[in-house]
Chains A and B, each alone.
Chain A
Amino acid sequence: NAGVMQNPRHLVRRRGQEARLRCSPMKGHSHVYWYRQLPEEGLKFMVYLQKENIIDESGMPKERFSAEFPKEGPSILRIQQVVRGDSAAYFCASSKTGGAEDTQYFGPGTRLTVL
């Protein structure tokens, strides 16, 4: 059973460019969560999505960041006009039911570097 897949693993962008990060949840999982890890810090929640729905985006910056989880295909975290402060590791997690008792399984992360 394949785990959570994320790509690319490493992404380099220049300031002002767009970054697209992809996440395919584990088979049978329909709940996706995005977290950001700044250097030397723990992971911080950004957004929670189900298929075609954003459930909670309270941890996501209001500008330049957006997320989607279409009916078909992976979940996408999109960062427009990237700045140096966006450099971080972005982790996607998935769960089966989305309930509090359901463990979230994490992907390998995408390390974004903004030059």
Chain B
Amino acid sequence: AQTVTQSQPEMSVQEAETVTLSCTYDTSESDYYLFWYKQPPSRQMILVIRQEAYKQQNATENRFSVNFQKAAKSFSLKISDSQLGDAAMYFCAYGGGGTYKYIFGTGTRLKVLA
């Protein structure tokens, strides 16, 4: 069974600085997808970034980028030039690999300090 682990319950970053959130996963599948979702206080789940496992190139979306290490089963999220609006819970999720169920980690609460 697939699992997703986020080992950092909480992280803090100064405004305008860079922060990296960690995520590891376990699967025996070779074809799958990885996601980072942001959950602000409104509780809405917002897709931040998606990575296809068959792509070696790391996905980027503006200030958000990932470091995808397939062999190590690691999928970290880097947020550059952090803004106050980035403060939220961030969830790493696994999808595909023979299942349509997304498997979520327990989340990392990101605080952005002014």
Scoring A residues 103 to 114 as 1 if CB is less than 8 Å from chain B, else 0, what string do you get?
Answer: 111101101000
Mask, B77-100, CB within 8 Å of A = 1, is 000000000000001010111111
Bound complex: CA A44 to CA B102 (Å): 8
Contact of A103 among B31, B47, B99 (CB under 8 A): B47
B104 lies within 8 A of A108 (CB): no
A contact residues, range: 20 to 34
A–B pairs, 17, beta carbons within 8 Å: A41-B106, A41-B107, A42-B104, A43-B91, A45-B101, A48-B101, A56-B100, A95-B100, A100-B31, A100-B33, A101-B96, A103-B33, A103-B50, A103-B95, A106-B46, A108-B43, A108-B44
Residues of B within 8 A of A69 (CB): none
Across-interface contacts of A105 in B (CB, < 8 A):
47
Bound: A31/B100 CA distance, A: 10
Cα–Cα distance between A62 and B73 once the two chains are bound (Å):
34
- Chain B residues 42-75 with CB under 8 Å of chain A are 42-47, 50, 52
Query: Size band of the B side of the interface?
Result: 20 to 34
> In the complex, which of the residues A31, A44, A104 has the most CB atoms of chain B within 10 Å of its own CB atom?
A104
Interface residues, chain B, with chain A CB atoms under 8 Å away: 4, 31-33, 35, 37, 42-47, 50, 52, 91, 93, 95-107
Query: Does residue A74 face the partner (Cβ distance < 8 Å to B)?
Result: no
Which secondary structure dominates chain A's binding surface? strand
**Assembly CA distance A101 to B37 (angstroms):** 17
The chain A residues found within 8 Å of chain B, CB to CB, are 31, 33, 35, 40-45, 48, 56, 59, 89, 91, 93, 95, 98-101, 103-106, 108-109, 111
Neighbouring B residues of A109 by C-beta, 8 Å: 43-45
Nearest 4 CB-CB pairs, A to B? A42-B104, A100-B96, A106-B45, A45-B101
Given contacts A100-B96, A100-B98, A101-B96, 17 further A-B contacts (CB under 8 A): A35-B102, A35-B104, A41-B106, A41-B107, A42-B105, A56-B101, A93-B45, A95-B100, A99-B100, A100-B33, A100-B95, A101-B33, A103-B47, A103-B50, A104-B95, A106-B46, A108-B42
